[in-house]
Structure formats: structure tokens, C-alpha cells
Structure 1
Amino acid sequence: MKMSSKTLTLPLASCILASALFAGCAAPPGQQNNAALGTGVGAATGAGLGALIGNSEGAMIGGAIGAVAGGLTGYNWSAIKQRLAGATQGTGTQITEQQDGSLKVNIPSSVSFATNSYQIRPTFTPALDEVARTLVQNPELVSRIIGHTDNTGAVPYNMTLSQSRALAVVNYLVSRGVASGRLSSEGRGQAQPIADNLTPTGRSQNRRVEIFLYPLQANPA
């Protein structure tokens, strides 16, 4: 007798669930509660949702989508956030988890670079050293560095300055043992202010460097 698509749905969903759990268990030690677990749970949840569609294709597609979503949101940043917070205490650095699954380290100009300069300040190195240690100790992570300026000066100059600052951070991390292939940089000049450029305080906030840490499967690059 020929089986219907609905007859196959439950076994297929179970299969995907088993595969998802295996993905979480097969992760290297110390990573099972991070991206791998998120991927496994996401796949299982997606498969269940897909099964509700009523056919085997729905379960398969749901599992695939769930795995991606789980990978994006499943990383446990707690220990890394704690270490970075300790290294940047008193500097005004903000460390926040993002909706895309990344960790954002926002470092103000009072710590990072002097005005019109892309030379890394000594006050910036403790934060960068901790970022470098984090990347070396967690090979499943990659980083993207983005430089920003205020609106003082010409637009082309500010763009070049922001690019140079981001690249300076990349070069520093490489000098601390991070493989260059795990790093990328970008300058956005004055295009994305987070405060009012009409005040000295606002301009200081806009002159910043943002370091994003991503699990490999969540890296937008």
C-alpha cells in the first residue's frame, strides 16, 4: 500500500529531532551550550512546526529554518561579557547582545583614539587584549570592527579616518595572535551618529569604534 505524505511526517520529524540533538552533543567540549545547542534546539523546534503543515516537506523545511534561527540566537555570551566588562570597567564601554546573535562592544573615543588620529591609545589596549584573548580561546567566533566619526570636517576625510581606525584595531588583534581571516573591518565615517553632533558630548559619543563578535554561522559577512 502506498503511504501518504502525512504518514511520513512524524518519522521524518523524529529523524530531524535526533539529528538536531546529535549536533548539540557532537560539539567540542565547552561549546555544547553555545551555538551548537542553539542550532540543535532550533532544528527540533523548526521540524515540529513544519510537521504541523501536514507533510514531510514541511517538516524538512521547518527543521532547516529552525537550525539557522537556533544558530543565530543560541550562543551563550555570559562569560565573555563578564571578562570584557572587567577589562573595560570605568571606560564608558558598552557591551550588549544584539538580535542577530552577535555581541557588540561599543568603545568611545575617550578611550580609543585621539581627535584626527588612528593611533591606538594605551587606554584602549586592555579592551583589545581581552577581545584578542576571547577570539584566540574561542575559535568558533569571528569579529567585525566598524569605525565611526562625528561630522566635524569633510565627509571624505571622515570616511578615510574611520576606515583607518577600524583597520588599526584589526592590525592590533592580529599582533596578539588572532588570525586575520577571522577579522574584517569597515569605516562608516559620520553616516551613523548615535548622539547630537551639535554638542561636544554628542560628538564625542559619535567618535567610536564598534567591535562585533559573531559565532561563525551567524557572521553576516
Structure 2
Amino acid sequence: MKAKLISLAIVAVLAAGCATEQGTHTAVGTGAGAAVGAGVGNLIGHDKKSTAIGAAVGAAVGAGVGYNWTNIRNKLSGQTAGTGTQIVDQPDGSLKLNIPSQVTFDTDSTTIKSSFRSVLDGVAQTISQEPNINARVVGHTDSTGNPEHNMALSQRRAQSVGAYLVERGVKNARLTTEGRGETQPVASNATEEGRTQNRRVEIYLKPISQ
């Protein structure tokens, strides 16, 4: 009976939002679940046995949550394979897809390339299948040309991506778009290689806060 009470308490705590950030990776989820479980077990039973039971149950619950998020990452890796898309865990709990310029848009264009559609189809499918995830699309340019033009271009490109995802079934309420022009380079704009890296689209996926 005590173990059941501990289990129910842990599930309630985690469901309330203990693992809604990137802590949903398996290892972190397991550790967080164990910590929560141990605390709940101690409160319920006031002894070492209850604490141990709580830690074990919490670890199992936390691992389950972590596996789900890892599954999403693995799914996206398969869907974007061969496109040069980088998938990077972010400190704030989001997952960033960095899609290079050779995949996304032609020069000074907001028309999505055919090579970009396959990436976005996978992203749309993932978001649609995971109701607890929101997406933020961010457009970037290099420093070639007028800064105001670059800012407007990056905004229109982000909007094009957002519109495409909506066409593929993603709800508007789960999407935001923004352009940052040339303001956030990831490489030097003094070389063509650097400018190529700076011309990019980023899509951030983050679990909805509970």
C-alpha cells in the first residue's frame, strides 16, 4: 500500500511539471525522478525503506519521461538524415534544428526549396504526433546587403516555414516565427564559408510548460 501511495504521489508531481524541460532525457529524467521519489517516500513513510521505494519508483517514472523526449530526437534525426541539419540540445530545454542555407532557400528568395520540404514534413509530423510540443522558427541571414532588407528577408522566410508547417497540419497556436537578419552570426561574414553558415533557418522544439 505504501509503495502504491508513493507511486501515485510521484506521478502526480511529475505530471505537474517536474520534467517538462530538456531534463526529459533518460539519464536526467531518471535522476530527477529518483530524487523526487525519495523525498515523497520519506514524507509518506518517514523511514529508509519508504525513501528507497520512492527513489526506485521515481527513477522508473523519470526514465519513462526521458525516453519519450529521446524518441523525438531520434525520430527527427532519421527524418532529416542527409540534409546537413544539425540537431542540438539547448540549455533552456529546447531542441534546435539548424538547417543550412543550401537546403532552405535560394538567394534572396522566400520560396521553400524542394530539399527543405522533406525536412519540414518530418518536423510537422513530429509536432502533430506530440501534442505537448511547441515550435519556434527563426530566420537568419549573412551581412551581405542592407541590414533592413536582411531583417525583412529573414522574417519572411521564417513566416514561409511557419505557413508550410500549418499546411502540413500543425496548429497556428503551437507556432511562432521571427527573423533576426544578420544580428546573430555563428561564423565570420568575412568569408564565403562563414556567410554560408550564417544563412540558416533554426527551428526550436520545446515541451509546453505544464
State if a TM-score over 0.5 links the two structures.
yes
- In 2, distance between residues paired with 1:25 and 1:140? 12
Does the CA contact (< 8 Å) of 2:10 and 2:37 recur in 1? Answer: no
- In 2, distance between residues paired with 1:16 and 1:184? 39
Q: Which has the higher contact order (CA 8 A, sep 6+)?
A: 2
The residue that corresponds to 2:46 in the other structure is none
Q: CA deviation at 1:115?
A: 0.8
The residue that corresponds to 1:58 in the other structure is none
The residue that corresponds to 1:78 in the other structure is 70
The residue that corresponds to 2:12 in the other structure is 22
- In 1, distance between residues paired with 2:82 and 2:190? 26
Structure 1 residue identity aligned to 2:178: E
Aligned length: 176
The residue that corresponds to 1:213 in the other structure is 205
The residue that corresponds to 1:118 in the other structure is 110
The residue that corresponds to 2:193 in the other structure is 201
The residue that corresponds to 2:174 in the other structure is 182
The residue that corresponds to 2:127 in the other structure is 135
- Which residues of structure 1 form unaligned runs of 5+? 1-14, 28-32, 52-69
Q: Deviations over 1:47-95 (max 9, x none)?
A: 68xx9xxxxxxxxxxxxxxxxxx9xx96843222222222222221100
**Percent identity between the two aligned chains:** 49
Q: Secondary structure, in 3 states, of the residue corresponding to 2:166? A: helix
Q: Secondary structure, in 3 states, of the residue corresponding to 1:77? A: helix
| TM-score, normalised via structure 1 length | 0.69
| TM-score, normalised via structure 2 length | 0.73
- In 1, distance between residues paired with 2:38 and 2:149? 48
Q: CA deviation at 1:45?
A: 7.5
1:88 matched to 2:83: no
The residue that corresponds to 2:36 in the other structure is 44
Q: CA deviation at 1:18?
A: 5.9
- In 1, distance between residues paired with 2:158 and 2:151? 11
Q: CA deviation at 1:161?
A: 0.4
Q: Secondary structure, in 3 states, of the residue corresponding to 2:182? A: coil
Q: Secondary structure, in 3 states, of the residue corresponding to 2:103? A: coil
- In 1, distance between residues paired with 2:154 and 2:35? 39
Residues 214 and 26 of structure 1: CA distance in aligned 2, closer, same or farther (over 3 Å): closer
Does the CA contact (< 8 Å) of 1:16 and 1:47 recur in 2? Answer: no
Does the CA contact (< 8 Å) of 1:95 and 1:103 recur in 2? Answer: yes
